């Protein structure tokens, strides 16, 4: 790969930092976790073309990261971030035949069934695709993503990427349990 365009890389780094996330019940980690799952699939060589299918493998990777980084205040559903990531302007959806009006009408799909029925696949901007195929650029984007959404956890997330194991019990469960125990001690 030629020398990366630093201006374009900076553009995507800012996009990763400024993801539009739901904040109704605390910051929803869905979009950052989806991007971590996609980055891992690139790192493992499982994505050689600019096509991101809502596959069982992607969902498995998403749920693995969710088990470590997710929130008890949110449901670990990949369909919403997969569909709504388009708001970042670097993630694009290819709709199945007959479902194209959904994007124009800005209809919100809410279930995995609805998204799988309507969306053929997603793809990212060509520059971003090139960056995700290049290890140093991919690592840089991952570091920016983690620094913004999961500060201080880069080494942990790099370790998660090297395993297929889920955290059992999930970290957010343990955090909630620890707070519960602390409250009991205070009572």
Provide the token pair at 17: 């930092």
CA angle, 53 as apex, 50 and 58 as ends, to 5°?
110
CA angle, 166 as apex, 162 and 170 as ends, to 5°?
130
The whole-angstrom separation of Cα 142 and Cα 140 is: 5
What would the mean pLDDT of 16-37 be, rounded to a whole number? 90
User: Does the CA dihedral 76-38-156-15 come out positive or negative?
Assistant: negative
Mean residue pLDDT of the chain comes to 88
The whole-angstrom separation of Cα 142 and Cα 57 is: 20
Q: What's residue 27's pLDDT?
A: 85
Q: What's residue 11's pLDDT?
A: 97
* pLDDT tens digits along 161-176: 999 888 776 666 555 5
Crossing angle of helices 30-43 and 135-149, in 10° steps, is 160
Q: What's residue 176's pLDDT?
A: 52
User: Does the CA dihedral 21-27-30-36 come out positive or negative?
Assistant: positive
The predicted model scores a pTM of: 0.87
Q: pLDDT band at 3, cuts 50/70/90?
A: low
Could you tell me the residue ranges of all domains in the chain? 6-186
Q: pLDDT band at 110, cuts 50/70/90?
A: confident
Residue 147 phi, psi dihedral angles, 5° rounding: -60, -35
């Amino acid at each position: 790969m030629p020398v990366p365009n630093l201006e374009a890389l900076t553009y995507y780094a800012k996009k990763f930092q400024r993801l539009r996330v739901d904040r109704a019940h605390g910051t929803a980690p869905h979009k950052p976790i989806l991007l971590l799952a996609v980055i891992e699939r690139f790192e493992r060589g499982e994505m050689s073309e600019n096509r991101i299918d809502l596959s069982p493998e992607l969902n498995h990777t998403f749920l693995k990261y969710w088990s470590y980084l997710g929130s008890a205040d949110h449901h670990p559903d990949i369909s919403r971030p997969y569909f709504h990531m388009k708001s970042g302007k670097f993630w694009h959806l290819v709709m199945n035949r007959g479902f194209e009006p959904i994007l124009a009408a800005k209809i919100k799909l809410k279930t995995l069934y609805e998204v799988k029925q309507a969306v053929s696949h997603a793809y990212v901007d060509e520059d971003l695709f090139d960056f995700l195929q290049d290890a140093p650029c991919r690592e840089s984007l991952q570091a920016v993503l983690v620094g913004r959404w999961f500060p201080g956890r880069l080494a942990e997330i790099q370790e998660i990427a090297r395993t297929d194991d889920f955290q059992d019990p999930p970290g957010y469960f343990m955090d909630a349990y620890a707070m519960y125990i602390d409250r009991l001690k205070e009572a």
